């Protein structure tokens, strides 16, 4: 494959080309990213479920009586419910700290900082065009995207901005650090940050698990790969990067392959005919 054979922009595909690309897989996620994603998903489901039940008093609550009855039945007392919520939150914080400490160079910097949240000009334009198309004010084609589109990056930016707030305020609330005034503000900020993340998660889950065009991206969080046709149609810039990397890797192998072919093995008969050294 030559570099000029890799298009700069998507070209129409024949049925055979599309079928071939549909059968080929491209790696999108490392195993560490997949494990962290599902650990985070399960933790947030449990934390939101228990946290919502903890927000209840005579004057204000966010869950109905039947929901509180179910949670109280499962945990026995409100104190046990609170202890479970706090303990799981501390485990969640610990896992993220370990991930950040040991995975910064291999996963955090390469996957998150460079690919998942870094916006370029195409991403900014994508957000503008997408908003105009939703409002029916434009039929312009969306700019080409990398491994994550601009909408996914925007969601990730909100999540990563809110996570330190959720963690810090959660610790302050759990151990009642500092003054009562600080604890009171921690409660407000904790709920606001959680609310922002949950609002984004609703859209994230819908786009990933329900929206038909994004189904391959959803299943990639189980397999770690997407088919090449999906990458070509929805994340062309990333598809091209992968192809260029494959091309560079192939060129590095060519000299070694040529050297091996020049040193062809000698058969037993040929060795017997050769004069001794």
In this structure, is residue 144 part of a structural domain? Answer: yes
pLDDT band, residue 116 (cuts 50/70/90): confident
In this structure, is residue 258 part of a structural domain? Answer: no
**Structural domain count, the chain:** 1
In this structure, is residue 138 part of a structural domain? Answer: yes
Read off the CATH number of the domain in which 145 is found: 1.20.950.20
Under 8 Å CB-to-CB from 152, ≥6 apart: which residues? 116, 204
User: How far is CA 134 from its chain centroid?
Assistant: 24
In this structure, is residue 84 part of a structural domain? Answer: yes
- pLDDT tens profile 139-162: 888 899 998 888 889 888 998 899
**114 pLDDT above the threshold of 50:** yes
- Nearest CA to 62 out of 73, 50, 70, 74 is that of 50
In this structure, is residue 268 part of a structural domain? Answer: no
Percent of the chain at pLDDT exceeding 70: 88
What backbone torsions phi and psi does residue 140 show, to the nearest 5 degrees? -65, 140
Lowest mean pLDDT among 139-143, 169-173, 208-212, 255-259: 255-259
- Number of residues in the chain: 277
Lowest mean pLDDT among 53-57, 183-187, 210-214: 210-214
* Structural domain for 167, as ranges: 16-249
In this structure, is residue 105 part of a structural domain? Answer: yes
**Highest mean pLDDT, choosing among 1-15, 60-74, 102-116, 227-241:** 227-241
In this structure, is residue 238 part of a structural domain? Answer: yes
What was the pLDDT predicted at 206?
Answer: 80
**15 pLDDT above the threshold of 90:** yes
Q: Tell me 244's DSSP state.
A: H
- Structure-block tokens of residue 145: 């995207």
In this structure, is residue 39 part of a structural domain? Answer: yes
């Amino acid at each position: 494959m030559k570099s000029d054979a890799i298009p700069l922009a998507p070209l129409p595909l024949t049925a055979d080309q599309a079928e071939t690309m549909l059968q080929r897989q491209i790696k999108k996620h490392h195993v560490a990213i997949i494990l962290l994603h599902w650990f985070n998903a399960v933790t947030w489901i449990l934390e939101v479920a228990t946290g919502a039940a903890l927000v209840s008093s005579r004057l204000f609550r966010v869950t109905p009586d039947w929901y509180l009855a179910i949670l109280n039945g499962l945990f026995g007392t409100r104190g046990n419910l609170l202890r479970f919520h706090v303990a799981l939150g501390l485990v969640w914080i610990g896992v993220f700290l370990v991930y950040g400490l040991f995975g910064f160079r291999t996963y955090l910097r390469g996957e998150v900082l460079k690919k998942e949240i870094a916006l370029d000009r195409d991403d900014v334009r994508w957000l503008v065009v997408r908003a105009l198309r939703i409002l029916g004010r434009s039929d312009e084609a969306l700019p080409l995207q990398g491994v994550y589109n601009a909408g996914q990056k925007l969601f990730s930016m909100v999540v990563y901005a809110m996570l330190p707030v959720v963690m810090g305020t959660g610790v302050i609330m759990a151990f009642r650090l500092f003054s009562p005034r600080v604890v009171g503000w921690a409660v407000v900020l904790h709920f606001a940050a959680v609310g922002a993340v949950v609002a984004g998660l609703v859209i994230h889950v819908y786009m990933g698990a329900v929206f038909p065009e994004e189904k391959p991206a959803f299943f990639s969080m189980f397999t770690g790969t997407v088919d090449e046709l999906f990458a070509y149609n929805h994340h062309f810039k990333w598809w091209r990067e992968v192809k260029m990397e494959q091309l560079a890797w192939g060129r590095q192998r060519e000299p070694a392959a040529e050297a091996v072919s020049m040193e062809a093995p000698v058969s037993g008969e040929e060795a017997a005919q050769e004069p001794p050294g």
